[in-house]
Structure 1
Amino acid sequence: MTNVREAALDVIEKINKNQAYSNLLLNETINKHKLIRKDIGLLTEIVYGTIQRQKTLDFYLDDFLTNRKKIQPWVISLLHLSLYQMIYLDRVPDRAVIHEAVEIAKKRGHKGITGMVNGVLRNVQRKGLKDFSSISDSAERVSIEKSHPLWLVKRWIEQFGLAETEAMCEENLQAPYVTARVNTMKTTVEQVLHELSEAGLDVIKGDLSEDAIKVIQGHLIETDVYKSGEVTIQDESSMLVARALDVESGQAILDACAAPGGKTTHIAERLQGEGYVQSLDLHEHKIKLIKKQAERLGLTNVEAMALDSRLVTDKFEENSFDRVLVDAPCTGFGVLRRKPDIKWSKKPEDVERITSVQWGILDSQASLVKPGGKLVYSTCTIEEAENQEIVAAFLKDHPEFSMDNTMIERLPNGVEPYVDGGELQLLPHYFGTDGFYIATLIKDS
């Protein structure tokens, strides 16, 4: 058990020190230590939970630390992950958590550190934790209680109001389910549910997308269903993009920012073997991922190449595509459940910086859309500056495009309150999905 917590401490330290991606570090650590499934679950829960609740844990610890500035960062991380287990993990006894923390402190530090770690955690156990009622400012309370940066909470309150912001921040703290899209070229949702149940997984239909399943318990990627290409792991909100694109058999479609290939393969499936998807990504190693996905799913109508999508007019002629998708790089504020480190590494200036990239990509695609064709812009963020403002600026510069108000006809029931003309904005707490934005534009014929 000590090894799991030591591994968790190493991962958390690297995330805090190097702003490394939690999901990549976790996979690397699991492979390095050859952890068994039970330990993988504990490691994942401790790492994600500690990173998610970092600001709340700091609030609790402040009462028990006299001179925090003199304490080494790894010791703070050890206290964080120990406190997280004591507060949020019912199945781990406090005495076991404290014992493990003391043992790690002995191995990594000196006698004084060991005593301090032991003393702080036992004081927490004895005295209990303060509540949030002492925080009078609403934004600050949400920031601390729901563990989000204050600048981000204030920004969201301006955009969505206090109630929506608080609900969204609470949703971001919840562990996400694995969801998957059924490859309807090969099978049906009902058949996949049956096969996975037979394999011992607890699975149900998705909440939002008609071809989605949700894994309540079990390891999907280890099943024959996954390996044979009957499903693709994808969030349900992301599954709406191919529907918004209004794919028709025989079309030529460009996916301008395609990696890792979830939307590309969904489009290819909806083409039913007729027409093709041209997928682009800046990096060659990500192109290999797209090709690997297409091969696993048995799709032969995907063409992938490495190309900066801002340079598409150097490669493709005007009016080359019936449909163009720009699933733009973004701040990722819609996926904080899955990537909690994002909220601590991003700064306000990152929003402004990414919008220039988004604009450059979207602007470059305009001439490639055939008259009468459609252009979809999507992101996994909730920021107006990256979403509605980008699309408004594009429409102003490109009067040959207008909003496609028929998009709602292609989307599932239940999303109507969140659609405004040709735009859809989902916040994470609406359906328990990623926060996601989709805009569908049509080019005048």
Structure 2
Amino acid sequence: MTPAARLSAAIELIDTIDAQRVPAAKALKEWGTAHRYAGSGDRAAISGLLWDVLRRRASSAWIMDEDTSRARVLGMLRLERGMSTDAIAALCDGGRFAPEPLTSGERAALTSRTLAEAPAHIAGDYPEWLDGYLAQVFGDDRVAEATAMASRAPLDLRVNTLKAKREKVQGSIAHLGAQPTRWSPIGLRIELGADARNPGIHSEEDFIKGAIEVQDEGSQLATLLSAAKPGEQVIDLCAGAGGKTLALAAMMQGKGRLIATDSDKRQLAPIFERLSRAGVHNADVRAPKGEGDTLGDIRASADLVLIDAPCTGTGTWRRNPDAKWRMRPGALEVRLKDQVEVLDRAAALVKPGGRIAYSTCSVLPPENGEQIRAFTARNSDFTVVPPSQTVTVLWDKAEDFAAATLQSPEGLLMTPRRTGTDGFFVSILKRKPLSSQA
């Protein structure tokens, strides 16, 4: 397919998504099935165009002064891909499989319109109802922060230190262009261009042998900040597919007791194979059964409970641009209730002197600082460990990392703009020793 034909396909896909209200991933899959002549490079390029349009959906329409599939694609080429009007016009020549030529209005819009007068939610490409929340946490920087959250994410890998060292793995996947992550001492990053296909990590020997896992650097850091130690009793309370469970196991060096559980046993399905591949032998996976308490034998005895809390996922917008446009206020309300429940459950599991590591992949204050303030208000025997103390586990990078994050009395926030990671909030809560409790 020619670049022009790919552009036409992207416009067609956006029409389908708008008309049928289907998720972008589903639309892409169905398009690929119906157009088997399209090669893998074509599908990757069209997918890149589609996701970039979703990232810049509002601002692209503003630039073109028209909210249609074609207008959004043209505006995206200008804003996200940095293409000139003439370069865009060359793709839209009206030839076979190419979009129709630019109108005089489209050419004028591409040449002269800017985002200077656009409202914050338009310039930052996010739903208008979220503007107050983003203003609360970022103030006048919210457009810059949201714009960074709309950029394409790199592919981050975590080296499994139970099986390998970062330097060795970097050498063995040098053909993928992997470089050490900025903050995480166990991470590697592969930068991806606009039309780049995701590399076949799952077919790499290092992945097959369990030496690497796909995990955003922010998620790696959230786990590292929990400071899990060998010999401790650690609970991953919202383990899901096990990404943080695997990271905890490596931190514990196979020593101690690691329990992984989740309220939805379907989410746990991949964890067993992942633990086996990673060489983890000290993990106990507990799936919920009926009305029984899967952790009934662990009352006030855990050294650490890690909570990868259910959340809105606003911090992962650059990976899931489709999700932000489908998000509704009701979803936030549901997640807030889920977070209260999981925090209160964790409080009953932690021993005196133990700790809770609470994290979300969200940037919204109600899920982060406000949630922590409410928790400590109803649990007076827990206090927040100051972020300045939390980051010391990063050793020589602690000071620079702390300066890059957005800190509050309740924890720290990573963002794509500040730390180059997904958006992650982390709070470490310590339970007072018995001698200190009233």
Is this a same-fold pair by TM over 0.5? yes
SS of residue matched to 2:365: coil
| Equivalence for 1:410 | 393
Gaps spanning 5+ residues in structure 2: where? Answer: 193-197, 434-438
1:431 alignment counterpart: 419
Q: Is structure 2 residue 76 aligned with structure 1 residue 84?
A: yes
Query: Structure 1's 309 and 95: CA in aligned 2 closer, same or farther, altered over 3 A?
Result: farther
**Separation of aligned partners in 2, 1:395 and 1:311:** 28
Aligned to 2:63: 60
Q: Is the 8 A contact 1:86 1:94 kept in 2?
A: no
**Any idea what the Cα deviations from partners look like across 1:19-67, whole Å, max 9, x if unmatched?**
655456656766786664422330221111111111122223435xxxx
Task: Name the SS for the 1:249 alignment partner.
Answer: coil
2:283 to 295, 302, 327: 302
For residues 410 and 336 of structure 1, what CA distance do their matches in structure 2 show?
Answer: 28
2:143 counterpart of 1:155 = no
Moved more, 382-391 or 276-285: 276-285
Aligned pairs (5 A) from 1:21-420: 21-22=23-24, 26=28, 36-62=39-65, 76-81=68-73, 83-85=75-77, 88-89=80-81, 90=83, 94-97=89-92, 99=94, 103=97, 118=100, 123-125=105-107, 128-132=110-114, 135=117, 140-162=118-140, 164-197=141-174, 200-216=175-191, 219=199, 220-307=201-288, 312=293, 315-405=296-386, 406-411=389-394, 412-413=397-398, 414-417=400-403, 418=405, 419-420=407-408
Separation of aligned partners in 2, 1:208 and 1:358: 28
Shift in alpha-carbon separation, 1:322–1:167, aligned structure 2, 3 A: same
> For 2:80 and 2:354, how far apart are their aligned partners in 1?
51
Task: State the distance in 2 between where 1:30 and 1:209 align.
Answer: 37
- Post-superposition Cα deviations, 1:375-430, rounded to whole Å, max 9, x if no partner, equal 11110001111111111111111112112243232244222233445611122211
CA RMSD of aligned residues (A): 3.2
3-state SS of the aligned residue for 1:165?
A: helix
Residue deviations 1:298-351 (CA, integer Å, cap 9, x gap): 222222233399985764431242210111111111111111122211233432
Distance 1:226 1:21, change over 3 A: farther
Conserved? CA contact 2:313–2:361, under 8 Å = yes
Q: Is the 8 A contact 1:401 1:442 kept in 2?
A: yes
Structure 1 alignment gaps of length 5 or more: 69-75, 105-116
Deviates more, 1:125-134 or 1:420-429: 125-134
- What is the CA deviation profile of residues 257-313 of structure 1, one whole-angstrom value per residue up to 9, with x for unaligned ones? 112221110001111111232112233332121222222222222222333999857
CA–CA distance in 2 between the matches of 1:187 and 1:332?
A: 31
Provide the rounded CA distance (Å) in 2 between the counterparts of 1:178 and 1:390.
Answer: 30
The letter of the residue matching 1:416 is A
Distance 2:336 2:221 in 1: 23
Deviations 1:91-117 (CA, angstroms, capped at 9, x unpaired): 9763444547x859xxxxxxxxxxxx7
Query: Residues of 2 paired with 1:185 and 1:358: CA distance?
Result: 32
Cα distance between partner residues in 1 of 2:310 and 2:214: 19
TM-score computed with the length of structure 2 as normaliser: 0.83
Q: How many residues align?
A: 414
- Quickly say closer, same or farther: Cα 1:430–1:134, change in 2 above 3 A: closer
Q: Structure 1 stretch 396-405 or stretch 266-275: which is displaced more?
A: 396-405
Q: Which amino acid aligns with 1:428?
A: P
TM-score (norm 1): 0.82
- CA–CA separation in structure 2 for the residues paired with 1:310 and 1:434: 35
Number of the residue aligned with 1:111? none
Verify the 8 A CA contact 2:235 2:259 in the aligned structure 1: yes
Q: Is the 8 A contact 1:318 1:368 kept in 2?
A: yes
Equivalent position of 1:110 in the other structure: none
The residue identity in structure 2 corresponding to 1:285 is R
**Secondary structure at 2:314 match in 1:** coil
- Cα distance in 2 for partners of 1:127, 1:242 equals 46
Match of 2:274, SS?
Answer: helix
Give the C-alpha shift of residue 437 in structure 1: 0.5
State the Cα distance separating 1:150 from its structure 2 match. Answer: 2.6
Select between 182-191 and 405-414 the one with higher mean Cα deviation.
Answer: 405-414
Residues 1:189 and 1:27: Cα distance change in structure 2 (over 3 Å): farther
Between the aligned partners of 2:321 and 2:48, the Cα distance in structure 1 is: 12
